[in-house]
Structure 1
Amino acid sequence: MRHRHAAAGPRRPRLPLRYLLPSVLLVVVVVMLLLRGYVHSEFLADHRVRPPAPTGTVPEKVLSGGPVLDARGETPVSHRVPDHKIVLTFDDGPDPEWTPKILDKLAQHRAHAVFFVTGTMTARYPELVRRMVEEGHEVGLHTFNHPDLSYQSSARVQRELAQSQLALAGAAGVHTSLFRPPYSSTADALDDRSWPVAREVARRGYITTFIDTDSEDWARPGVDEIVRRAMPERPGQGAVVLMHDSGGDRSQTVAALDRMLPELRAQGYEFPRLTEALGAPGPHSAVHGTDLWKARAFVAAVGVSESAMGVLVVALAVVGVLVVARFALMLLLSAVHARRVRRRRRGRGRDGRRPQVTEPVTVLVPAYNERECITATVRSLAASDHPIEVIVVDDGSTDGTADLVEALGLPGVRVLRQPNAGKAAALNNGLRHASCDLVVMMDGDTVFEPSTVRELVQPFADPDVGAVAGNAKVGNRRRLIGAWQHIEYVMGFNLDRRMYDVLRCMPTIPGAVGAFRREALWRAGGMSDDTLAEDTDVTMALHRHGWRVVYAERARAWTEAPETVKQLWSQRYRWSYGTMQAIWKHRRAVLERGPSGRFGRVGLPLVTLFTVFAPLLAPLIDVFFVYGLVFGPTLRTAAAWCGVLAVQAVCAAYAFRLDRERLTPLLTLPLQQLLYRQLMYVVLMQSWITALTGGRLRWQKLRRTGLLGSAPGALSGSGAEAREPHGLYGPGEAREPRTKSAVG
C-alpha cells in the first residue's frame, strides 16, 4: 500500500458508481421483495368477510332480478341469461397448474367462459390471461388482492380496480368492463353493506356479475356433487355458474367439466360468453400508448421480482450453508488448535519440548505521519522482555514523526528516513538494514505488550515456519463502533486464524503484529506493492514458496481501530479490494504442485468463499428477516433469525473465551448483525465494482487520535486477562488534531 502526500499530485476523482451501485442494488432488492410481497397478497391483504346485513336500501327489483347488474345509469337494470345457455365463470385465477387444464377442457368441448381474475395472479401469470383472450374467452376483474370491498374505503376500491386493470393491460393489452366482487353470490344476497360498493363500482363503468348456481367446487365435495350443484334449477333454464380455477386443488373441477359439458350439450345447452349470451357489446377495450407501456412495465417488474425471489432464495440457501460450514469449521478446528497449543506448552508435542527462541529480533515500524501514536508505539517496544532492535522507517512524514522518535533517545532504536514511497518500500528498506534473522513488523499506531515479541517468535523453533501471525486486539472499544470491531477481531479474525493454522493455509499475517524469517521474505520477493494488501500478498507468497505460516494467540498487539463510519469504510474498502487483488495475483497456485498447489486448492477457495462471497450474500439473512416480519410468518421468521444469531453468539462466546475476553461486548451482537453487516456488504460491493470496472483504489490514511498509551501487559504481565489499554493521554499530553490525510 502506498501513502503519499497530498502534494504528490492531484487526486483522481472517484467514480460515483462505486458509491451508488451498492446502495442502488440493495434498494432494488428491497423494492423487488416488496413488490413480490404485494402481488402475493402478503402486504395490505385483508381477509375479513362481513356477515349478512339488512337489505333496506337495496331496490327490490335488484334483489329479485337476474345475476347481471348494470347500475351505471340512474335506474339499475338486471339481466338474466336466456334459456338453454350456460355462462361458465371461473374465479380467483389464473393458476399455473389448473387454469391451463381448464382452458384445455373448454377448447376440447368447444365452450367459452368468463374468467374473473385477480390482479395479483394476473401480474404473476400474464401468459395465461393472454391465452384466455386469444382463445375467445372473456375476462372480468375480481379485485387485485381479493378483499371484501364492503370493509374498504372508496379510495381502496378505486385502487383495487385500477391496479387490476393495470395488470390486465400489461398481460393482454385490454381493459374490461366486467366485475365480480369477492365473496359475492346471488343478487338477492346484496345488503346495505355491499349495495353501496355495487353502486360505487357501477359509477366507475363496470357491470357486476353475480351467479345463479354455485358448484362449491372450492370445498372439493366430489365430482358428482360439483356437477349436481352446477346444474340449473329446472331443465332448459339459463344460468351463470360459479366455479374456480385457482385457490387449491382443482382436479375435481377439471373432471366435473369433462362430465358436465357433454351432458348439458346433449340437453341442448350452449356455452357462450356472457355478453354474447345477453346480446351486448364485448367487454374488452384495447389499451394503447403510454398506458399500455406502463402496464407492461408493471407486469415485467412483477416478473423480475418473481425471478429475483427464486435467485435470492437460492443465494440465501448458499449463504446459509457457507455460514454454517464456516462456524462448524471454526468451532471444530479452533478446539483442535487449542488442544495442540496446550500440548505444546506442556511439552507433549510430537517432538517433545521445543527449545525456547531467545535470539535477538529486529522490529520494523513503518511510519507515515504517526505523530499521535508513534511515541506510545516505540515506548511499548522498549518495555519488551525479549532482546530486540527497533528500526522506525519514516516514509516521508511531514508532521515530525521521526523527530519525536529521535527525541526519545531510547537505546536500540534507530530511525531511517526516506522519501515517501509507500509501506512496502519502507518495510523493504528496513529489511535491508535489519541485523537479525527474525523480523517483526508492526504498524506505527500499535502498541505491544512486554511479552508480545517473545511469544511471537517462539514458533520459529520449527525450521519450517516462515512467518507467524499475532493476535491483533482493538484498544478503543468503548464506543459502539469500536465494540463491533472488537467482536469482529476476536471472532472473525482470530478464530479464523486458528482454523487456518490447523489447515496450514493462513491467508494473512496482520500488518499490526507479524513475524518473519528474513530469509523467507527475500525468497518470496520481499514486500510487494502490487496490491493494496501487502500483508495478505506476502503471506500467500510464503505459502507458495513452501513455508509454514502459523498463529501465536498470546502475541497480543493493541491497535486503534477506526472511530467513524467514514474511516472504517476507507479501511475495509482497502482491505477488501487488496484481498481480491492478492487472490487474483496468486490464482495460479490452484494449478501448481507441492505446497503452492496445496495452498491454492485449500487456502484460496476458503478465503474466496468466506472472505469474498459469503459476506457479499450475508445481508440476505437480514433482508429476509425484515421481509418475513412484514409479510409473515412473523414468529417463524424471528425464530429462524434468532437461531442464526444464537449460532453466531456461541461462536463469539467461544472465541472470547479462547482470547480471555469479557463477554460484555457481545450484548451489542444483534445490533452489529443488523447494521455493521450491511456496512461491510456495501464496502465489499464497492470493492467488487472497483475490480470489475478496472478502477484503481487509492490508499487513504486513517486519522488517528493517539488514545492508546501502553498495552495491558505493561502492568499486568503477559498472563493477565486481556483488558482495555490504559494510558490515555492526559491534559498535558494533548495531541493537536490532524488536518491532512495522505493519499498515494
Structure 2
Amino acid sequence: MANRRRDPRGHWILLLLGGFILAAGLLLQGYAHGAVGESPQHDHTGGGAAPAAATDGGPVLNLSGERPQSVRMPPRTIALTFDDGPDPRWTPQILDVLRRHRAHATFFVVGARAADHPGLVRRALREGNEIGSHTYTHIDMAGSPAWRIRLELGLTQRALAGAAGVHTRLLRMPYSSLTAEMSAPEYRAAREAARLGYLLVSTDRDTDDWRRPGVARIVQAATPRNGAGAVVMMHDAGGDRAQTVRALDTLLTGLSAKGYRFTTLSAATRLPAADVSASTTAKVTGTALVDGQRAAGWLAGAFATLFAVAAVLTGLRLLALPIFARVHVRRIRRERRRRARPWLAAGTTPPPVSVIVPAYNEQAGLAATVRSLVRTDYPAPIEVIIVDDGSTDDTPLIGHRLAQEFAHVELVRRPNGGKPAALNTGIARARYDILVLVDGDTVFQPDTIGRLVGQLADPAVGAVSGNTKVANRKGLIGRWQHIEYVIGFNLDRRMFDVLECMPTVPGAIGAFRRRALAAAGGLSTDTLAEDTDLTMAICRAGWRVVYEETAIAWTEAPSSLRQLWRQRYRWCYGTLQSMWKHKRSLVEGGRSGRFGRRCLPYLTIFQVVLPLFAPVVDIFACYGLIFLDPLTVAASWLAFAGAQALASMYALRLDGERLRTLWVLPLQQVVYRQLMYLVVIQSLATAMLGARLRWHVIRRTGTFSGEDPLPAQANV
C-alpha cells in the first residue's frame, strides 16, 4: 500500500485565517466606499434650530465650554476651504492653482479618501495648506448616534496619521453650510465632536459649486461684499470639478488684485496650528489602516475582475455543453449506432467478453452486481471474474457462493494491493480480448454489456464509457449526486466524445480492448484515480475513447457527507495526479497532442482554477449584496441559476430522467457546490505539501441487497 501519512491539516488554519483576512478587508472596503458609508442627508428641520449663541456667531465655533465661542475672518482675508477630497484628478489641479498664486487653503478631507490617496494629503501639507476632518465616510453626523460619530472621527485621525503623520483639530460636518442655518440635531452632533477636542468650521460663502452653475456664478458666490473677510466653501471631489478649478483661478486673480489675502483658517484667525504631529503609536496604527484599506481596494478590484471572468467562463460552459450534447445526439450517436449494427444484428455473433469485478469489502452489493451481469441479454459468451483484494468481511464467501452458483463466474483471491493491482490480476486471468471493468457496488441493466461492446465495432475505438446513474437518490445527498452525475459528468462526456478527448472511463462501467490496455501499460498505481490515468494513457496511445449514454450502470453513491468527502477527495487528488502525469500530451503531436490541448486546459480551468477561486467569488457576491448594487448582484445570480436550470433540464431530458428532481438545485448551489470547492482546495494543498493521500474506503449501505438487483429508478 501507499504511504499512509496523515492528510495535512495545518492548511485549514491558514485557509480560515486567509478567509478572515479577506472578509475583514472587504468589510473595510465596503465600509469606506460602500453602502454603509456616504450616508444620505436627513431632513433635520423638524428638530428645531440651534441656540442663538451658536447661530449668531462666526463660522469657526468652539463648543467645548458652557457657551459657544466663535471667530470671524478679518477684513479682506479669505479662508478657502475644499470639501470631500482628496480626489486624484481634481485635487492636484486645485493645488497647482494655489501654488501658482502663492495662496493657501484648508482641505476638509474624507478619511477614507485620504487613506486611498495619502500622497495628496502629504502634498497639501508640504505646500503650506492645512487639513481638517470631514468624517471618514461622509456621514450625516446629525442623524448618527454618538458611537458612530466617535468611530468616524477616530478613523479619520488614524488615516491622517498613517497618510501624513498628523492629527487635526478642525472639523466640518458633511451636509453643513452656513452657521445661521444650523439645526438642533446638528448642534448636538457638533457638541459631541467638541468633547473630542474639535473646532467646528462652517462657512460664510457657500459657492454651491457641486451644482456646476458656471464659473461666473461660482466666482460671484465666493466674493465677499464691501471688503469683508470670509470662509469660502468649495469642493475638490465628488464629481466634475472643472468649473471649480477655473473659478478658483479667476477668483484668486481678481481678488488678489484688490488686496485680498488667501490663507488657511488657523492663520487667518490666529489660532494654533490645526495640524499637529501624531504619536508614534498613532502613526503605526494609521499606517496599518491606510495600507489595509489600499490593499482592500486592490482586493475588491481583483475580486470584481475575478467575478466577471468566472461568470463569463461559467456562462460559456453552460452554453457550450448543451450545444455539444445536441451535436452528440444528432450526429455522433447516429453514426455510432450505424457502425454497431453489424454486431447487434440477428444472426451475427458478437465477440465474447470478460467482465472483471474488483472487490474489497463489498459484501453489501457484490451479489447484486454479479447477478446483474449474468442476467445480461448479451448473446455471446461472457465470463465474470471476481477479484477479491484481501477483503476482511464476507466478500470472499459471497464470491465463492456465486462461483458455485454460476458456471461462468470465477473467484480469484489475492493479498490486498489496491484496486489497480486487482484489476490487472483479473485482466491477466481473462480469456477474451474485450474486457468490461465493473465496480463491486454497481448493477448493470440487461442490455448494458451489449450497448458497451457495440461501440467497439469501430476498430479505432479502444475504450467505451458508459452512463453511470445514482441508485440511492432518495435522500438530499443522493439527489445532489444524481444531478451532478447527469449534468456535471454525462454532459461533459458528451462534449469530450464530440471533441475526441475523453479523460475518464469511470471505474463503475467501461469496456476496453485488450490491445488498448496493453498499449497504455495496464492500470497503474501512480495515481489514486486509476480510471482517469488509464483513460488518458489510452488516448495518448492513439486510441479513441467514446461515450455510450444508453449503456447504463446503477451505482451506490456515498450516503453521508463524510463518505462523500472521502470519495471526492480521492477523485480530485487522483485527477490532479493524472493531469500532471500526462502533461506532456500538451506538446505532443497526433491524437495524443489533440487530446492534451483540448482536455487538460478544460480540466485545469473548470475543475481546478474556478473551484479554487469560487469561494472568493461567493464572498464577493455577498459583499456586493451588502455594499454594492444588490439588484445587479441578485440579477446576475438569478441569471446564472436560470441558465444552469435550463442546462439541467436539457441534461435530464436527454437521460430520460424526471424534471422534478430540479427542486434541490438551488440548495445544491448554496451547500453542495461549496463542499466540492473545499475538496479541490484540500486536494491542491495535499499535492503542494507533498503528502501521499491514502486510499479512502467508502462504506456501503446495501442499496442492491434486495431480491431485485436493479433499483426502481431503472424504469425511469
Structure 2 length-normalised TM: 0.95
- Report the CA distance between 1:19 and its aligned residue: 3.0
Output the CA distance in 1 between the equivalents of 2:583 and 2:271: 73
- Alignment CA distance shift 1:572-1:130 (3 Å): farther
- Alignment CA distance shift 1:27-1:584 (3 Å): same
Output the CA distance in 1 between the equivalents of 2:28 and 2:568: 33
- Report the CA distance between 1:623 and its aligned residue: 3.0
- Report the CA distance between 1:621 and its aligned residue: 4.8
Q: Could you give the per-residue CA deviations for residues 411-433 of structure 1, whole angstroms, max 9, x where no partner exists?
A: 12111111111111111111100
Please point out which of 293, 315, 322 is paired with 1:331: 322
1:235-254 maps to which residues of 2 (within 5 A)? 236-254=227-245
1:191-206 maps to which residues of 2 (within 5 A)? 191-206=183-198
Output the CA distance in 2 between the equivalents of 1:511 and 1:561: 13
- Report the CA distance between 1:110 and its aligned residue: 1.5
Name the counterpart of 1:395: 389
- Alignment CA distance shift 1:256-1:715 (3 Å): closer
- Alignment CA distance shift 1:574-1:500 (3 Å): same
Alignment pair present for 1:139 and 2:139: no
Output the CA distance in 2 between the equivalents of 1:22 and 1:680: 15
Output the CA distance in 1 between the equivalents of 2:400 and 2:201: 94
- Report the CA distance between 1:263 and its aligned residue: 1.2
Output the CA distance in 2 between the equivalents of 1:472 and 1:23: 36
- Which SS does the other structure have where 1:704 is aligned? coil
Quick one: which amino acid aligns to residue 556 of structure 1?
I
Q: Could you give the per-residue CA deviations for residues 15-74 of structure 1, whole angstroms, max 9, x where no partner exists?
A: 22343344444443333322221110322653132242465651x332221100012223
Alignment pair present for 1:463 and 2:459: yes
- Report the CA distance between 1:318 and its aligned residue: 2.0
- Alignment CA distance shift 1:102-1:206 (3 Å): same
Output the CA distance in 1 between the equivalents of 2:567 and 2:396: 24
Query: Contact 2:358 / 2:419 at 8 angstroms: preserved in 1?
Result: yes
Query: Contact 1:91 / 1:115 at 8 angstroms: preserved in 2?
Result: yes
Query: Contact 2:368 / 2:709 at 8 angstroms: preserved in 1?
Result: no
- Report the CA distance between 1:127 and its aligned residue: 2.4
Name the counterpart of 1:733: none
- Alignment CA distance shift 1:57-1:290 (3 Å): closer
Alignment pair present for 1:343 and 2:334: yes
Query: Contact 1:41 / 1:120 at 8 angstroms: preserved in 2?
Result: no
User: Mean alpha-carbon deviation: is it higher for 511-520 or for 94-103?
Assistant: 94-103
Quick one: which amino acid aligns to residue 410 of structure 1?
E
- Report the CA distance between 1:406 and its aligned residue: 0.9
Q: Could you give the per-residue CA deviations for residues 672-708 of structure 1, whole angstroms, max 9, x where no partner exists?
A: 1122121111111122222222222222112221123
1:262-661 maps to which residues of 2 (within 5 A)? 262-340=253-331, 343-344=334-335, 347=338, 353-356=341-344, 358-386=350-378, 387-408=381-402, 409-411=404-406, 412-661=408-657
- Which SS does the other structure have where 1:355 is aligned? helix
Please point out which of 128, 147, 167 is paired with 2:120: 128
Name the counterpart of 2:22: 29
Alignment pair present for 1:17 and 2:17: no
- Alignment CA distance shift 1:447-1:336 (3 Å): same
- Which SS does the other structure have where 2:185 is aligned? coil
- Which SS does the other structure have where 2:691 is aligned? coil
Output the CA distance in 1 between the equivalents of 2:147 and 2:465: 65
Output the CA distance in 2 between the equivalents of 1:74 and 1:175: 25
1:3-14 maps to which residues of 2 (within 5 A)? 11-14=4-7
Output the CA distance in 2 between the equivalents of 1:108 and 1:678: 58
Output the CA distance in 2 between the equivalents of 1:62 and 1:362: 98
- Which SS does the other structure have where 2:474 is aligned? coil
- Alignment CA distance shift 1:185-1:369 (3 Å): same
- Which SS does the other structure have where 1:193 is aligned? helix
- Which SS does the other structure have where 2:64 is aligned? coil
- Alignment CA distance shift 1:385-1:673 (3 Å): same
- Which SS does the other structure have where 1:638 is aligned? helix
- Report the CA distance between 1:618 and its aligned residue: 3.6
Query: Contact 1:68 / 1:207 at 8 angstroms: preserved in 2?
Result: yes
- Alignment CA distance shift 1:26-1:498 (3 Å): farther
Alignment pair present for 1:50 and 2:46: no
- Report the CA distance between 1:710 and its aligned residue: 6.9
Structure 1 length-normalised TM: 0.91
Quick one: which amino acid aligns to residue 629 of structure 1?
L
User: Mean alpha-carbon deviation: is it higher for 701-710 or for 466-475?
Assistant: 701-710
Quick one: which amino acid aligns to residue 299 of structure 1?
V
- Report the CA distance between 1:507 and its aligned residue: 0.7
- Report the CA distance between 1:193 and its aligned residue: 2.0
Q: Which runs of 5+ in 1 are unaligned?
A: 724-744
User: Mean alpha-carbon deviation: is it higher for 133-142 or for 223-232?
Assistant: 133-142
- Report the CA distance between 1:641 and its aligned residue: 0.8
Q: Could you give the per-residue CA deviations for residues 318-377 of structure 1, whole angstroms, max 9, x where no partner exists?
A: 212221221222111110101125534774xxx694433722211111111122222222
- Alignment CA distance shift 1:548-1:637 (3 Å): same
Output the CA distance in 2 between the equivalents of 1:715 and 1:669: 23
Quick one: which amino acid aligns to residue 405 of structure 1?
G
Name the counterpart of 2:55: 63
- Alignment CA distance shift 1:352-1:374 (3 Å): closer
- Alignment CA distance shift 1:354-1:711 (3 Å): farther
- Alignment CA distance shift 1:398-1:431 (3 Å): same
- Which SS does the other structure have where 2:411 is aligned? strand
User: Mean alpha-carbon deviation: is it higher for 555-564 or for 337-346?
Assistant: 337-346
Output the CA distance in 2 between the equivalents of 1:491 and 1:671: 16
Q: Could you give the per-residue CA deviations for residues 292-340 of structure 1, whole angstroms, max 9, x where no partner exists?
A: 2222112211111111122212222221222122122211111010112
- Report the CA distance between 1:159 and its aligned residue: 1.4
- Which SS does the other structure have where 1:700 is aligned? coil
User: Mean alpha-carbon deviation: is it higher for 352-361 or for 454-463?
Assistant: 352-361
Quick one: which amino acid aligns to residue 388 of structure 1?
I
Output the CA distance in 1 between the equivalents of 2:352 and 2:368: 22
- Report how many residues are paired: 708
Query: Contact 1:448 / 1:711 at 8 angstroms: preserved in 2?
Result: no
Alignment pair present for 1:97 and 2:89: yes
Query: Contact 2:34 / 2:628 at 8 angstroms: preserved in 1?
Result: no
Q: Which runs of 5+ in 2 are unaligned?
A: none
Quick one: which amino acid aligns to residue 154 of structure 1?
A
- Which SS does the other structure have where 2:440 is aligned? coil
- Alignment CA distance shift 1:722-1:118 (3 Å): farther
Alignment pair present for 1:186 and 2:178: yes
